[in-house]
Amino acid sequence: MRRALLAVLLLLSVPVRAEDLVSGISQDIIQITSNYTGTDIVVFGAIERADKARGRDIVVVVRGPDTPMTVRRRDRFAGVWVNSDSARFEGLPGYYYLASSEPVDLIAPPRALANYGIGMRYLIPSQIGSHHDARPFKDAALRHLKERGLYTEAPGTIDFLSETLFRTRIPVPADVARGQYNVEVYLFRDGEVVSAQSTPLFIDQTGIERRLFNLAHNAPLFYGLACVFMAMLLGWISSVLFRRPA
């Protein structure tokens, strides 16, 4: 639902100007295999009917599939650490990468950034399951995701190859969620969005990893029993192979 609203904003709220934006990505499908350790994609584009370069900025945002998140606070009680409170967030992307020609706070006012969810501080959950102030829990979730390399803001990483051509490199870590991602490219002029494009990016598993993933999600009980059986079988084989003679 949130992606649909964002698509509507991209189509309807961008004013018609002389400049237009054409963008693309180096690959639109990433296959996850057993030896996958991460990769990079290149986002590139051109500005058609380009006006003067002064006052013009490019922002690229990559959003992963929405992932439910539960943040718990632990307090010490009678010498034992226990979970004392929690907040559950719906509608936050599992991966978020922002590349821009300069810091976004210098590109546009907060109103414009909030309209498009540009910048981590402007990411708003669609639903919050907490009866307390959820802001500290959201801040803790963002810190955790940044430490894992899943949330990143990289100002100054847009390379202009000429007055009209640009590119940037986006890392895709090994532990990203599988699903559909959106690669959004915005052209700002004097603090306002004058053109924007969104391109889907698909990340999926292939081979035996895909079959095991489907089995774990479609038949979790059978998958769990199979894992226990395999562990017992390997343990028995190890005891036979490495048994000391009497």
Enter the pTM of the model.
Answer: 0.75
Percent of the chain with pLDDT over 90: 38
Contact 190, 15 (CB under 8 A): no
Mean confidence (pLDDT) of the chain: 82
**Cα angle 67, 43, 210; round to 5:** 45
DSSP 245: P
Spatial distance between the Cα atoms of 57 and 47, rounded to a whole number of angstroms: 11
Query: What is the pLDDT averaged over residues 220-230?
Result: 81
Chain centroid to Cα 135, Å, comes to 20
Q: What's the number of CA atoms in the CB half-sphere (13 Å) around residue 98?
A: 22
Whether the pLDDT of residue 7 is over 50: the answer is no
Please say whether the beta carbons of 34 and 210 come within 8 A. Answer: no
Task: Give the pLDDT score at 183.
Answer: 96
Q: In the prediction, which pLDDT does 12 show?
A: 46
7-16: long-range contacts (C-beta < 8 A, 24 or more apart)? 7/198, 9/115, 9/116, 10/116, 10/184, 10/196, 10/197, 10/198, 13/115, 13/193, 14/193, 14/194, 14/195, 14/196, 15/192, 15/193, 15/194
pLDDT tier, 158 (very low <50, low <70, confident <90, very high otherwise): very high
* Mean pLDDT to the nearest integer, 27-36: 82
How is the chain split into domains, by residue range? 2-205, 207-246
The rounded percent of the chain whose pLDDT value lies above 70 is 82
Class of the 2-205 domain?
Answer: mainly beta
pLDDT tens for residues 171-210? 998 888 888 999 999 999 888 999 999 999 998 876 666 6
Rounded Cα gap, residues 212 and 220, in angstroms: 10
- Pick the more confident residue, 132 or 96: 96
